[in-house]
């Protein structure tokens, strides 16, 4: 495990614990942090690459959040981005066309 | 002044409970009255014409603007992303391009995410629908959307446009428990397949119209209503045929999996094209002599709403909303004794988005200022930016 991954896991653990601690008094939705992180990374990487037409390095930074656990994979040919967060919460976004941009799969 | 114009005009036939003007707000004759007839422009044709003064701008004013927007010591690779990070700025003065500059690898042809500045586009599409008689602002959302919970049927389009649905909503992005965020759940979680239905299924916190609370959810219910009323006239790609094509604006506008345009968040365009939208509003919803918006729509959208005055929940510092526009108006009843940006005129109104996107309209100065950005540290000052931009425009007086 790289130091960076270890740091991300530690931050994520802290975030999850905070979430649990707050659960009593704050409503939460059904999605895990992994699902939210993956969907954000997939959709925003897709739009960054194929709507804004920015380069890969730029888009990696554009979608970086803390903790940055989601890893988007870009299929340049099909213009599809799939992301997972620590292997979980798979999400896929697809580029439609220049007007309609990208959409997250159901 | 906008309020004064409203006070002098009969209420527009489409208006829903027009808010009586506040005498405290209408007797400051500081700015000139915006034209209420359709102006001949100039409007941009294929692209903006350069302003004759663009080559002879006040060098000190430009240097001051650039020192703020494009700080020389900014490190784009800084891991903490601190500082003013401007991607693009465009100043349109008297209908012509006075100044522009780009950074961060953007140029005049690169589209930028507008984030919540998109909401103001949704307002304007609703205005087009009202002009065409396809929609009334006091229609219940259940007049147009089937299968919603009965409790949500008391919500009207006007409630949504003033962020007064009363749905129990939490609008937060970074910095709070992400799993509690309604907006993240809508865009990236359980709500993303059909955002409007997700929003309208929330329990009620307050009676519709009784409170103000900024909500991306409210906007996406408007978008879903538009998705029902617009296509018969304008086709499935109604944002283009009804609004963007007539003003020559190229943009991307993304939808959810149910086919509803994400009216809250997902419009992309270049700063030059975003400025066309500003120019439309500057001219009261007219373009090249043709009225796209009903008379009085822009004024109605840029007035302080009852919810803000009397019961604003979670109102941020300087947060004064009209109906999907940010206003530079004091609201003493809400404890906002000064206008949010004291250095710039009170008639300024703006579309604004996350990471400090903005389309700023100055009716009294024939001025539109667009800024795209990637500001992540919360330190950006609209007041400073806009006053510096205004100084560049005023120095550009031929």
Looking at CA atoms only, how far is residue A29 from chain B in angstroms?
6
Query: Who's near B229: CB < 8 A, 6+ residues apart?
Result: B129, B134, B135, B144
> Worst-scoring range by mean pLDDT, A10-24, A73-87, B298-312, B360-374?
A10-24
Q: Is B106 inside a domain boundary?
A: yes
Does pLDDT of B232 surpass 70?
yes
Does pLDDT of B27 surpass 60?
no
> Worst-scoring range by mean pLDDT, B15-19, B131-135, B282-286?
B15-19
Which of helix, strand or coil describes residue B199?
helix
Beta-carbon separation of A101 and B268 below 8 A: yes
Q: Which residues of B touch A65 (CB under 8 A)?
A: 174
> Worst-scoring range by mean pLDDT, B28-37, B207-216, B241-250?
B28-37
Looking at residues A51-79, what average pLDDT do you find?
A: 96
Query: With 0-12 CB in 10 A as exposed, 13-18 as middle and 19+ as buried, what is B74?
Result: middle
Q: Where are the alpha helices (DSSP H) in chain B?
A: 2-8, 23-26, 59-69, 118-131, 157-161, 182-188, 195-200, 216-229, 231-234, 238-239, 271-282, 297-301, 306-310, 382-395
Domain, as residue range, for A80: 33-106
Which of helix, strand or coil describes residue B93?
strand
Query: Who's near B40: CB < 8 A, 6+ residues apart?
Result: B288, B289
The confidence score (pLDDT) of residue B36 equals: 53
Q: Is B129 inside a domain boundary?
A: yes
Per-residue pLDDT band at B397 (split at 50, 70, 90): low
Beta-carbon separation of B179 and A53 below 8 A: no
**B321 within 8 A of B308, measured Cβ to Cβ:** yes
Per-residue pLDDT band at B111 (split at 50, 70, 90): very high
The confidence score (pLDDT) of residue A66 equals: 85
Looking at residues A68-80, what average pLDDT do you find?
A: 96
Looking at CA atoms only, how far is residue B394 from chain A in angstroms?
33
- Residues B170-215 have pLDDT tens digits of 998 866 688 999 999 999 999 999 999 999 999 999 999 999 999 9
Are B167 and B213 within one domain?
A: yes
Beta-carbon separation of B190 and A31 below 8 A: yes
Among B249, B279, B304, give the residue marking a domain's end: B249
Q: Is B6 inside a domain boundary?
A: no
Q: Which residue has the higher pLDDT, A1 or B129?
A: B129
Looking at CA atoms only, how far is residue B120 from chain A in angstroms?
18
Are B287 and B245 within one domain?
A: no
Q: Is B15 inside a domain boundary?
A: no
Looking at residues B72-80, what average pLDDT do you find?
A: 95
Beta-strand runs (E) in chain A = 70-75, 80-85, 88-95, 102-104
Looking at residues B362-369, what average pLDDT do you find?
A: 97
Number of domains in chain B: 2
Does pLDDT of A20 surpass 50?
no
Beta-carbon separation of A29 and B182 below 8 A: yes
As given in the structure block, the two tokens for residue B201 are: 């299924």
Looking at residues B232-240, what average pLDDT do you find?
A: 98
Mean pLDDT estimate for chain B: 92
Looking at chain B, the whole-number percentage of residues with pLDDT higher than 90 is 85
The rounded distance, in Å, linking the Cα atoms of B188 and B169 is 16
How many whole angstroms from its chain centre is CA A81?
A: 10
Query: Who's near B133: CB < 8 A, 6+ residues apart?
Result: none
Q: Which of A18, A39, A58 sits opposite B192 (nearest CB)?
A: A39
Among B249, B278, B306, give the residue marking a domain's end: B249
Per-residue pLDDT band at A2 (split at 50, 70, 90): low
The confidence score (pLDDT) of residue B28 equals: 46
Q: Is A60 inside a domain boundary?
A: yes
**B129 within 8 A of B227, measured Cβ to Cβ:** no
For residue B242, give the nearest of B344, B130, B351, B391 by alpha carbon: B130
Q: Is A20 inside a domain boundary?
A: no
Are B146 and B220 within one domain?
A: yes
Beta-carbon separation of A101 and B266 below 8 A: yes
Q: DSSP secondary-structure letter at B156?
A: B
Per-residue pLDDT band at A26 (split at 50, 70, 90): confident
- Residues B134-161 have pLDDT tens digits of 999 999 999 999 999 999 999 999 999 9
Domain, as residue range, for B215: 118-249
Optimal mutation site among B176, B178, B205, B373, interface A, most CBs of chain A within 10 A: B178
Q: Is B171 inside a domain boundary?
A: yes
As given in the structure block, the two tokens for residue B157 are: 């389009």
Beta-carbon separation of A100 and B184 below 8 A: no
The confidence score (pLDDT) of residue B39 equals: 83
Q: Is A87 inside a domain boundary?
A: yes
Q: DSSP secondary-structure letter at B243?
A: I
Q: Which residue of B has its CA nearest to A63?
A: B374
The confidence score (pLDDT) of residue A14 equals: 45
Are B140 and B217 within one domain?
A: yes
Are B286 and B320 within one domain?
A: yes
Among B197, B215, B249, give the residue marking a domain's end: B249
Q: Which residues of A touch B266 (CB under 8 A)?
A: 47, 101
Q: Is A15 inside a domain boundary?
A: no
Are B106 and B122 within one domain?
A: no
Q: Which residue of B has its CA nearest to A37?
A: B188
Q: Is B224 inside a domain boundary?
A: yes
Looking at chain A, the whole-number percentage of residues with pLDDT higher than 70 is 76
Question: For position B129, which CATH number holds?
Answer: 3.40.710.10
């Amino acid at each position: 495990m790289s130091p960076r991954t270890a740091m991300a896991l530690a931050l994520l653990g802290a975030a999850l614990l905070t979430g649990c601690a707050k659960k009593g008094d704050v409503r939460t939705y059904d999605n895990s942090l992994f699902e939210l992180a993956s969907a954000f990374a997939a959709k925003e990487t897709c739009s960054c690459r194929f709507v804004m037409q920015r380069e890969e390095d730029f888009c990696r930074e554009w979608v970086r959040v803390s903790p940055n656990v989601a890893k988007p994979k870009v299929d340049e040919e099909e213009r599809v981005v799939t992301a997972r967060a620590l292997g979980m919460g798979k999400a896929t976004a697809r580029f439609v066309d220049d007007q309609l941009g990208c959409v997250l799969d159901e | 002044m906008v309020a004064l114009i409203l006070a002098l005009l009969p209420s527009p036939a489409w208006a829903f409970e027009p808010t009586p003007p506040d005498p405290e707000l209408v007797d400051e004759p500081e700015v000139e009255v915006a034209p209420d007839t359709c102006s001949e422009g100039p409007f941009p044709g294929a692209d903006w014409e350069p302003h004759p003064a663009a080559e002879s701008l006040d060098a000190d004013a430009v240097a001051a603007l650039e020192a703020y927007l494009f700080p020389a010591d900014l490190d784009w690779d800084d891991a903490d992303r601190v500082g003013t990070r401007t991607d693009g700025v465009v100043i349109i003065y008297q209908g012509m391009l006075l100044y522009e500059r780009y950074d961060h690898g953007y140029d005049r042809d690169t589209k930028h995410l507008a984030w919540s500045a998109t909401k103001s586009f949704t307002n304007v599409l609703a205005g087009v629908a009202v002009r065409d008689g396809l929609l009334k602002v006091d229609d219940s959302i259940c007049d147009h959307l089937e299968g919603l919970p009965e409790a949500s049927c008391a919500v009207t389009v006007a409630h949504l446009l003033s962020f007064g649905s009363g749905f129990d909503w939490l609008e937060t992005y970074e910095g709070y428990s992400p799993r509690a965020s309604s907006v993240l759940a809508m865009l990236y979680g359980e709500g993303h397949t059909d955002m409007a239905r997700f929003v309208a299924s929330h329990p009620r916190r307050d009676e519709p119209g009784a409170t103000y609370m900024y909500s991306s959810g409210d906007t996406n219910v408007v978008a879903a209503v538009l998705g029902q009323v617009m296509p018969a006239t304008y086709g499935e790609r109604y944002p283009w045929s009804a609004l963007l094509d007539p003003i020559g604006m190229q943009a991307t506008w993304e939808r959810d999996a149910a086919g509803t345009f994400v009216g809250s968040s997902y419009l992309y365009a270049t700063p030059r094209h975003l400025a066309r939208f500003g120019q439309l509003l500057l001219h009261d919803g007219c373009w090249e002599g043709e009225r796209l918006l009903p008379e009085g729509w822009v004024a109605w959208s840029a007035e302080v709403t009852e919810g803000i005055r009397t019961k604003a929940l979670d109102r941020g510092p300087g947060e004064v909303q009209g109906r999907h526009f940010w206003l530079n108006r004091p609201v003493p009843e809400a404890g906002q004794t000064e206008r949010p940006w004291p250095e710039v005129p009170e008639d300024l109104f703006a579309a604004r988005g996350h990471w400090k996107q903005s389309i700023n309209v100055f009716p009294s100065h024939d001025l539109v200022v667009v800024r795209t950005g990637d500001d992540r540290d919360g330190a950006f000052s609209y007041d400073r930016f806009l006053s510096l931009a205004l100084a560049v425009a005023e120095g550009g007086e031929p």
